[in-house]
């Protein structure tokens, strides 16, 4: 596990623009679908230019008492202002925001990863408690 600590960077998303922010409803009911919004740059905007951008956000869920997580989904962001005229010459830029809809019968931990093309992999976690 120590190697993963070197690969996946962690920080508080309120002071570091690369950390994925996981937003959940206050109450999540067992077996009912709910939204999970994951974004990068909520407090401090990420540049999202041709030279410096978020490539993807990936979300996993580790149910309580289970050994392995489930992949919930992955969102890729492919437009970063580049065009045939060069970097940052397009008017199309994607924002690193993804909405996942899921349901679960168990509480557990959501684990999000984001990849910055310059600053590598970042991770964050959020607990799911069911009512």
User: What is the band of 11 on the pLDDT scale with cuts at 50, 70, 90?
Assistant: confident
The residues assigned a catalytic role are: 16-18, 46, 52, 116, 119
Q: According to the model, what pLDDT value does residue 5 have?
A: 67
CATH number for the segment(s) 2-128: 2.60.40.730
Q: For residue range 12-37, what is the model confidence (pLDDT) as tens digits? A: 777 678 999 999 999 999 999 999 99
If phi over 0 gives left and psi between -120 and 50 gives alpha, with beta otherwise, what is residue 81? left
Q: According to the model, what pLDDT value does residue 93 have?
A: 94
CA atoms of 93 and 116, how far apart (whole Å): 15
Per cent of the chain over pLDDT 90 is 83
If phi over 0 gives left and psi between -120 and 50 gives alpha, with beta otherwise, what is residue 3? alpha
In the chain, where are the structural domains located? 2-128
CB of 128 within 8 A of CB of 109? yes
């Amino acid at each position: 596990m120590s190697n993963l600590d070197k690969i996946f960077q962690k920080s508080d998303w309120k002071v570091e623009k690369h950390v994925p922010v996981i937003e959940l409803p206050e109450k999540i009911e067992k077996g009912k679908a709910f939204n999970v919004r994951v974004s990068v740059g909520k407090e401090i905007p990420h540049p999202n230019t041709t030279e410096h951008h978020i490539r993807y956000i990936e979300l996993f869920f580790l149910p309580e008492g289970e050994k392995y997580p489930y992949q919930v989904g992955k969102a890729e962001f492919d437009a970063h202002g580049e065009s045939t005229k060069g970097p940052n010459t397009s008017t199309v830029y994607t924002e690193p925001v993804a909405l996942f809809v899921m349901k679960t019968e168990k509480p557990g931990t959501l684990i999000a990863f984001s990849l910055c093309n310059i600053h590598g992999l970042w991770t964050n976690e959020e607990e799911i408690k069911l009512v």
